[in-house]
Structure 1
Amino acid sequence: MSKFEFAPMPDNQGFFGEYGGQIIPPELKSAMDAINQAYEEIRQTQGFQDELMQLFQDYVGRPSPIYHAKRLSDKLGGAQIYLKREDLNHTGAHKINHCLGEALLAKYMNKKKVIAETGAGQHGVALATACALVGIPCEIHMGQVDIEKEHPNVTKMKILGCKLVPVTQGTATLKDAVDSAFVEYLKNPKDYLYAIGSVVGPHPFPKMVRDFQSIIGREAREQFQQKFNKLPDIITACVGGGSNAIGLFTAFLDDSEVKIVGVEPAGKGLDTTEHSATLTLGTPGAIHGFKCYLLQDEAGEPLPVHSIASGLDYPGVGPQHCYLKDIERAEYDSVTDEECLDAFMTLSRVEGIIPALESAHAVAWAMREAAKLPKELQILVNLSGRGDKDADYVADKLGL
């Protein structure tokens, strides 16, 4: 019997404890409720489940393997590090898992356009891919800073046929891309679907994206038991909005022997204003239609945030993560840009795996902790994406 007792996640109003919900205008509530109703209808049908699982297998290449990073573990001299290889998915990250689900939902609802935001471009590429597959026009909003930083993904999105909208207001990064995409969506919520790229936003998106991403944890749990006849001692993943992390965590929530750790961006340091450590230093507030821990000023406005990883550069976080923090089922730690870059290069040169900068945060935490722990302990890292998109940026930054 688990020592953890969970409230509904979410309840019928979309709340995880006190977080989540629908903090939106009345005219948008009916659109969100229609999405929730359609999702609940479609997810019960065998046809939808079969189509999604077939695509996961034959299109995405699931199940993604678990890999023992033996040379890295030996180098650190402590706990053994294993990687859940979401970087091997078609399009190079975990994002394709929920994008396929959202694109199929848009098709089911007869939507005429799918709109989304993207930070690092992984969600944008995955959604453009899924929309090309089902034949629905796609529009992606992306901050100008991220467009310049993540050029390979920008090129892929254009090749895949999506309309790319550069966002120059504010800090021209992820939060501003979300703002811009919401404005476009509000022009015609009846005919458009806003395919949110993480477990954030108004209900039902935190639930829906989690459900699609939970394939990660279900696979990992079964794979680990098959390999070792036990569960990992620690599981960890990077957290920005938190979709790859909740995708891994969900299958292990009832396993009290498994320690769960989310890793946030400490940026240039928690003692500076240039970080995105929302769960570490944020306070409860509201952003983009839901309640969560938020990095905010005295007036409740989101603060500018920073991370070397564009996909983690967000002042809020998924409501389920907030709830798991409060009930102490999950811990949330942070690593700096410098630690992230070191992990990026170390994993590349010791294991021949170039991780996304986002994923390198979780690798950095695992490296830091593994060195302190006994060799018989096992840490499972969700390697949420590959680093093709970051290679030129890192090379320039390090003078390679």
Structure 2
Amino acid sequence: MKNSFHHAVPDQHGYFGDYGGSYVPTELQLIIDEITLAYQQIREEPAFLDELSRLYRHFVGRPSPIFHARNLSARYGTDIYLKREDLNHTGAHKINHCLGEALLAKKMGKKKVIAETGAGQHGVALATAAALVGLECDIYMGEVDIAKEHPNVVRMGILGARVIPATHGRKTLKEAVDAAFAAYLADPHTQLYAIGSVVGPHPFPMMVRDFQSIIGNEAREQFQQMTGALPANLVACVGGGSNAMGLFTAFLDDAEVSMHGVEPAGRDLATPGEHAATLSQGEPGIMHGFKSYMLKDEQGEPQEVYSIASGLDYPAVGPQHSYLKDLGRVSYGVIDDRQAIDAFFTLSRLEGIIPAIESAHAVAYALQLAEQGERGSILVNLSGRGDKDIDFVIKHFGAEYGVGSL
């Protein structure tokens, strides 16, 4: 049966092989158990599934199309396709799981959803979903990212969310997660922490993956309709890893399909603190309530990390990605800041599509595969659009690429 691999993991305790689980205080585990039970119930309820399907179609605009990037394909000598998650309402894949989490919170009688965000796409999506179903919404975001991703901060405010700055450490995504966890621990009864990726304690890695799996389910059918075959290669960027798991899940049993997760090499892969390549440079550890690969400092604590893409600078990764790495089912490579920005402009100028900097990492890796002579088609998950990044890119790279200051 297709996707049998999907249904085989995690186990009842939330482990994908050695990774996952739930490492939280006992009093919080009781709340987590309630969430697990509620999710297990609604995932089988026709009324819930029908409502989610209705919202995906009529609110989000799904199915998102697959686009054959003919100009890129001609230049690089390989057929390159894009799964256009950037065309979703709110501009990224994040709306897929935010709607599911908001509906779950409403069913559980919660009054508020809270979350972290890096690039702001998860925050905008959750604020959107909260407004739609009638919930309050608090979004924790690093001070650095608030300044960097100003358009998304404005959107969250318009939608009625409260954006709360994380002001400690590097003031980016990891610190936003810290702050959101602290707020959730202070009141786990009236609010639901709507985790923004396939990370955190069980059931969140499973739950977010399940909601995101619509990407791969659509892509598998669409690609066969377009070409008569499955793609030879899948490529997706990996921070926490939700868009990648969303694409990969439907193809895990297809041995002929190669899968590539792309991590940020940042400024310098050889220097701790200058990248966020968790699977490439990290080792198993526990943080934020789950076990997975993580980047550690000399004391074994989460290492400071960096990426030009605010949505990728996280020192851990979803536990299923760690499992797939150890199995050898998915290969994980890296793209640095410079390569990502080059791909940002290349896709914009050859295909008329401005990608999120996060997604540009995946585009860059696909172009690298093509240049290296990778055989067969390449399907890239274009997980988000670049509206949020335009001000930052033009300020720092505009002159170099012939674009005047704003």
What is the TM-score of this pair, normalised by structure 2?
A: 0.96
1:178-257 mapped onto 2 (5 Å cutoff): 178-257=177-256
Structure 1: distance between partners of 2:187 and 2:6:
37
Query: Is the 1:8–1:16 Cα contact (8 Å) retained in structure 2?
Result: no
Cα offset for 1:271? Answer: 1.5
Distance 1:397 1:299 in 2: 35
Question: Does structure 1 conserve the Cα–Cα contact (< 8 Å) formed by 2:119 and 2:311?
Answer: yes
Alpha-carbon displacement from aligned partner over 1:234-292 (angstroms, at most 9, x marks no partner): 00100000000000000000000000110000001211220000000000001100000
Quote the Cα distance in structure 1 between the aligned partners of 2:124 and 2:6: 35
Which residue of structure 1 lines up, in the alignment, with residue 303 of structure 2?
303
* 1:82 partner SS: strand
Alignment partners' CA distance in 1, 2:386 and 2:137: 24
Residue identity in the other structure for 1:32 = I
Q: Does residue 122 of structure 2 align to residue 126 of structure 1? A: no
Shift of 1:57: 0.2
Shift of 1:227: 1.0
Q: Which amino acid aligns with 2:256?
A: E
Matched, 1:378 2:374: no
Query: Is 1:325 the equivalent of 2:343?
Result: no
Q: Structure 2 CA distance, aligned partners of 1:328 and 1:386?
A: 30
- Correspondence for 1:169: 168
- Equivalence for 1:55: 55
How many Å apart are 1:6 and its aligned residue?
A: 8.4
Structure-2 residue corresponding to 1:15: 15
1:362 alignment partner in structure 2: 362
Name the amino acid aligned to 1:83.
L
Once the two structures are superposed, the pairs formed by residues 146-161 of structure 1 within 5 Å of their partners are 146-161=145-160
Aligned position for 1:39: 39
How far apart are 1:371 and its partner, in Å?
A: 1.9
Residues in 1 aligned to 2:18 and 2:28: alpha-carbon distance in whole angstroms: 21
* 2:67 paired with 1:98: no
CA contact (8 A) 1:217 1:249 kept: yes
Q: What is the Cα deviation at residue 299 of structure 1? A: 2.3
Contact 1:238–1:263, Cα closer than 8 Å, also in 2: yes
Aligned residues of 2:5 and 2:252 also touching (Cα < 8 A)? no
CA deviations on 1:6-60 (whole Å, 9 max, x unpaired) are 8931000000000000011001101111001000111111000000000000000
Deviations 1:126-178 (A, max 9, x none): 00000000000000000000000000000000000001101111110000000
Cα pair 2:6 2:249 within 8 Å, conserved: no
- Report SS of the residue matched to 2:361: helix
Q: Give the whole-Å Cα distance in 2 for the aligned partners of 1:190 and 1:5.
A: 34
CA distance in 2, matches of 1:302, 1:60: 35
Gaps of at least 5 residues in structure 2 are: none
**After TM superposition, which residue ranges in structure 1, 4 or more long, deviate above 4 angstroms?**
4-7
**2:210 partner letter:** D
Letter in 1 for 2:291: K
C-alpha separation in 1, matches of 2:139 and 2:344: 27
- 1:351 alignment counterpart: 351
Taking structure 1 as reference, are residues 284 and 112 closer, same or farther at Cα in structure 2, changes over 3 Å only? same
Q: Which amino acid aligns with 1:367?
A: L
Matched with 2:388 is 389
Task: Decide whether the 8 Å contact of 2:20 with 2:290 is kept in 1.
Answer: yes
Match of 2:315, SS? coil
Q: CA deviation at 1:372?
A: 2.5
Contact 2:265–2:334 (Cα < 8 Å) also in 1: yes
RMSD: 1.4
The residue that corresponds to 2:278 in the other structure is 278
Q: Equivalent pairs: percent with the same residue?
A: 65
Question: Residue 298 of structure 1: CA displacement?
Answer: 3.0
Distance 1:65 1:371 in 2: 26
Q: What TM-score, normalized to structure 1?
A: 0.97
| CA–CA distance in structure 2, aligned partners of residues 36 and 5 of structure 1 | 20
Once residues 331 and 395 of structure 1 are traced to their aligned partners in structure 2, the CA distance between those partners, rounded to angstroms, is: 33
- The residue number in structure 2 matching 1:89 is 88
Distance apart, 1:191 and its partner CA: 1.1
Q: CA deviation at 1:5?
A: 7.4
Q: 1:382 to 1:6 in 2, by over 3 A?
A: closer
Does the Cα contact within 8 Å between 2:6 and 2:252 map onto a contact in 1? no
CA distance in 1, matches of 2:293, 2:316: 6
Conserved in 2, the CA contact under 8 Å of 1:7 and 1:16?
no
Give, in whole Å, the separation in 2 of the partners of 1:5 and 1:356. Answer: 30
Quote the Cα distance in structure 2 between the aligned partners of 1:297 and 1:165. 27
1:396 counterpart SS class: helix
How many residues are treated as equivalent by the alignment? Answer: 397
Partners of 1:235 and 1:249 within 8 A in 2 = yes
Once the two structures are TM-superposed, the CA of residue 229 in structure 1 deviates from its matched residue by 1.3
Secondary structure at 1:269's aligned position in 2?
coil
